[in-house]
Amino acid sequence: MEDLFYQKLLQILPENQIKQKERMENHTTLHIGGSADYLVTPAGTEEIREVTRLCNQEGMPFYVMGNGSNLLVSDAGYHGLIIKLGEEYSSVLTKEDGTVTAQAGVLLSKLANVIAKQSLTGFEFASGIPGTLGGAVTMNAGAYGGEMKQCLTAAKVLNQDGKVLPLTNDELELGYRTSILQREGYILLEAEMKLDHGNQQEIFARMQELNRQRREKQPLEQYSAGSTFKRPEGYYAGKLISDAGLRGYQIGGAAVSEKHCGFLINKENASAKDFATLIHEVVRIVNEKFGVTLEPEVRFLGDF
């Protein structure tokens, strides 16, 4: 069955874009996770469409990922196919009027640099977010007072029927860490932004300043999935965790960062079970002490 499925994948993708029994610890910023049955890296929209169509026809579960910066994969791995949208699907086109069109797999850091070199401003906030454009639009990523909603004008998505749909900013239904892509299971293909012209030196200076602040405040030197919890209304997750006495709290190899309590880190070869247990314990203890329920930003993939 699996060999037959692999042969069908080879009719869509070249062999070097298909991996079997691929360790997911090599594809997430947490460096945690067992093997996925298949991992593919499509280089074009038609390849993405054909792979999803094949999975649906064959009853093969699939999951779409970018840089794996908010993903916790089970120690048992993922029994299905991972579509990784990365460097192979990351073209960027800029126009003189400030319009930028980019494919879902481009890293936000790379995209921010391309935009800055064109003396366009409004995307500086995203330059240090460790993800891809696909994840950023799907989650309406934000930082330092900016969010994707502010600069997006349109997007192309693939729906569950394999149709490419154009969506406007309003139709994307972007809210705090949410969008219609999440709710409907759409896959981002490309996004369009409209940015203002600015002073290139000032744009790069702003990006450098934001990245300096990140280095000072966040445990960038350790494996993490970024900010682990959504911000509860009226509170800050990191402060709640700190006030609950959980700074440095550790289960197995997973720990609450001492540098920033909103970050849980893979401190000592943590297992997915360690990390998941730590998340649940932090949620439980904060809820007991303050009556606030923290909601993880991290996605759980596989059996826990």
Catalytic residue set: 177, 227, 297
Burial class (CB in 10 A: 0-12, 13-18, 19+), 283: middle
Q: Which of 105, 163, 97, 165 is nearest to 133 (CA)?
A: 105
Give the pLDDT confidence score for residue 143 in this predicted structure: 86
Give pLDDT, residue 176. Answer: 85
At the top level of CATH, the class of 2-87 is alpha beta
What pLDDT is recorded for position 103? 98
**pLDDT of amino acid 2:** 52
Residue 111 CA, distance from chain mean position: 15
CATH fold for domain 90-216: 3.30.465
pTM for this entry: 0.94
For the CA atoms of the chain, what is the radius of gyration? 20
Beta bridge partners of 156: 166, 190
Give the residue extent of every domain in the chain: 2-87, 90-216, 220-301
Longest dimension (CA), the chain: 58
Residue 83 to residue 55: CA distance in whole angstroms:
11
- How far is 21 from 40, CA to CA, in rounded Å? 11
Residue 300's Cβ-count burial label (10 Å; 0-12, 13-18, 19+) is: middle
Third-level CATH fold of 220-301 = 3.90.78
**Which residues make Cβ contacts (< 8 Å) with residue 244, sequence separation at least 6?**
282, 285, 286, 289, 290
Q: Mean pLDDT per 10-residue run, the chain (304 residues)?
A: 85 97 97 98 97 96 96 97 97 96 97 97 93 94 89 95 95 91 95 97 96 92 94 94 98 97 97 98 98 96 96
